[in-house]
Amino acid sequence: MTLLPLSDDAFLFPGAVNSLVFANGSGGALLVDTGLDESHARKLLRAVQDAGLTPSAVLNTHAHADHHGGNAFLLKRFPELVISAPPLEAAIIRHPELEPLYLYGALPPKALQNKFLLAPSSPARPLEAGTQTLGGVTLDLLNVPGHAVQMFAVRRGGLLYAADALFGPDTLTKHPLTFCAESTQQKASAASLLGLEGVQLTVPGHGDATADLAGLVQLNLESLERTTQSVLHAVQAGAASTDTLLARVCADLGVTMTNPGAVLLNRSVVSAHLKELLEAGRVEMVTENNLLVFRAASA
Ligand SMILES: [Zn+2]
């Protein structure tokens, strides 16, 4: 697999998760997101080296395992490589057991310690948004929280790498419950990208590059709002626990979950949209028969 040129000095390495490669003009390359595992990182490195480049730095846009799982392999080959991420995400990348811990709510059983939820640890350093120079490449990092607690989108000239602030159309169709830590922020972050001027090409974390940023933002906002409404309708069907609401939402959106990890991820999505509805006064949270129950707010 080779790098797809996006501009003079920016390249896309497409995969289940996209990696971006920015050449620094003197043979080095900043790698943005390293993929799920060694297999992705190995192919990414081969493509980078085939293009005559050597990794000079790594940026992880956020701490989900599929975006930083390749770090460990790259560090084996290039031990001096500096890895950067938003501050809270850098803490999770250094202590990746936090991801299954926060999803499960306790230290996770073995079944949840798989590569989709638990990447190898790597020494990411905290980085703030703004104009930054990493491995000889200067770019703008934009705060786009919501999908993760913190996340950066990357802007360089006419190119926008939205990370998981935006999903491609096929991904939205295949996975209508997109992962979410905070749905109000996720919507605001997607909408904020509309305000960027001069973007010619947008690359989502999952999906194809597009010239139609506005169209992609619109699709994502519609998908997020559909989820909020589905959660609200699930609550309106009768007071219920998060797990029961999740089952109702999955039935409504045509989602089938076949492993414990998928249930935990989608459960978090429902919890995030419930928080939005609680704060909007549409839903109430109470305890009932020793269950945490959500019910429609009494007008
Ligand atoms: Zn993600």
CA of 17 to the centre of ligand 1 (A): 9
State the pLDDT confidence band at 114, using cuts at 50, 70 and 90: confident
Could you tell me if 38 and 155 lie in one domain?
A: yes
Q: Is the pLDDT of residue 88 over 90?
A: yes
Domain assignment present for 235: yes
In the block, tokens 């990357």 appear at 154
Domain assignment present for 19: yes
Domain assignment present for 220: no
pTM given for the model: 0.95
Greatest CA span in the chain, whole angstroms? 66
CA of 205 to the centre of ligand 1 (A): 8
Could you tell me if 10 and 100 lie in one domain?
A: yes
CA of 61 to the centre of ligand 1 (A): 9
Kind and range of the H or E run holding 6: none
Could you tell me if 253 and 156 lie in one domain?
A: no
Q: Residue 209 and residue 11: Cα distance in Å, rounded?
A: 11
Could you tell me if 124 and 268 lie in one domain?
A: no
Could you tell me if 159 and 236 lie in one domain?
A: no
Question: Of 115, 149, 165, which marks where a domain is finished?
Answer: 165
CA of 239 to the centre of ligand 1 (A): 30
CA of 66 to the centre of ligand 1 (A): 7
* pLDDT digit string, tens, across residues 198-210: 999 999 999 999 9
CA of 146 to the centre of ligand 1 (A): 10
Domain assignment present for 262: yes
State the pLDDT confidence band at 111, using cuts at 50, 70 and 90: confident
State the pLDDT confidence band at 35, using cuts at 50, 70 and 90: very high
Q: Residue 57 and residue 139: Cα distance in Å, rounded?
A: 13
Domain assignment present for 190: no
* pLDDT digit string, tens, across residues 3-23: 999 999 999 999 999 999 999
Q: Print the domain residue range for 270.
A: 230-296
Could you tell me if 149 and 10 lie in one domain?
A: yes
CATH for 282: 1.10.10
pLDDT at 298: 85
Could you tell me if 27 and 111 lie in one domain?
A: yes
* pLDDT digit string, tens, across residues 124-163: 999 999 999 999 999 999 999 999 999 999 999 999 999 9
Query: Mean pLDDT for the chain?
Result: 96
CATH for 25: 3.60.15.10
CA of 63 to the centre of ligand 1 (A): 7
Domain assignment present for 21: yes
CA of 237 to the centre of ligand 1 (A): 30
pLDDT at 119: 87
Domain assignment present for 263: yes
Question: Of 165, 180, 200, which marks where a domain is finished?
Answer: 165
Question: Of 145, 165, 185, which marks where a domain is finished?
Answer: 165
Number of domains present in the structure of the chain: 2
CA of 287 to the centre of ligand 1 (A): 32
Q: Residue 34 and residue 71: Cα distance in Å, rounded?
A: 6
CA of 164 to the centre of ligand 1 (A): 5
* pLDDT digit string, tens, across residues 237-284: 999 999 999 999 999 999 999 999 999 999 999 999 999 999 999 999
Domain assignment present for 113: yes
CA of 178 to the centre of ligand 1 (A): 9
| Coil vs helix vs strand at 285 | strand
**For 286, left (φ over 0), alpha (ψ -120 to 50), or beta?**
beta
Helices (H), 116-212: 169-174, 183-192
Q: Rounding to the nearest 10 degrees, give the CA dihedral for residues 107, 111, 116, 117.
A: -10
CA of 27 to the centre of ligand 1 (A): 30
| Coil vs helix vs strand at 39 | helix
CA of 160 to the centre of ligand 1 (A): 17
